[in-house]
Amino acid sequence: MGIVISAAFVIKDWFNFERLGTLNPSGIADTVTRKWFASQIFVADNALFTGFLIFFIIFGLKVLFRREWPAMIVVAIILCASNGDLYRSTNLALDGSVYFLVALGIVWALVRFGMLTTIVAVFVTNVLGRVASTSDPTLWFMPFAYATLILVAALAIISFWRSLGGQSLIGSEAT
């Protein structure tokens, strides 16, 4: 565990998160790629912090309310209120209900499936929220959008493969 923590600090120093800015087209390809990696690691760091924060908030509210569902609803409302995109919304009712349902789904996943599921859900939600959506594949930032989509797909495929636990996907071995 100590090696993983040490490696995380080395990676954080190498990517220099304090100067992490937006991707700009005038940068050198290596620098822009390095910023893309840094932004993904920054989102993962944020997802880890958010997962623990949601866990401790829901734990405290479950003790306070002595019920699971009211605590989950309050945490979902807190997550919606802390979302900066909701304040800039032009259709507050629609966006608020969508954000509330997504936050409630993440909180429900924490209660039912555990911390790792919540951290991955927050990571995937934040990563996909940062992907630029356009129909023009020739724009300068589309390789980073494709790389992000490949990252999420690889995460899903590897997770599914590991969840099989050595079992065959189709059929079973005859013994």
Task: Give the span between the Cα atoms of 134 and 100, in whole angstroms.
Answer: 26
* Mean of the per-residue pLDDT values of the chain: 78
Quick: pLDDT tens for 63-74.
Answer: 998 989 999 999
Give rounded-to-5 percent helix, strand, coil for the chain. Answer: 75, 0, 25
What is the tens place of the pLDDT at every residue in 86-113?
Answer: 777 788 888 888 889 988 998 998 999 9
What single-letter amino acid sits at 20? L
103 close to 76: Cβ distance less than 8 angstroms: yes
pTM recorded for the entire structure? 0.69
- How large is the angle between the packed helices 115-129 and 29-65, nearest 10 degrees? 130
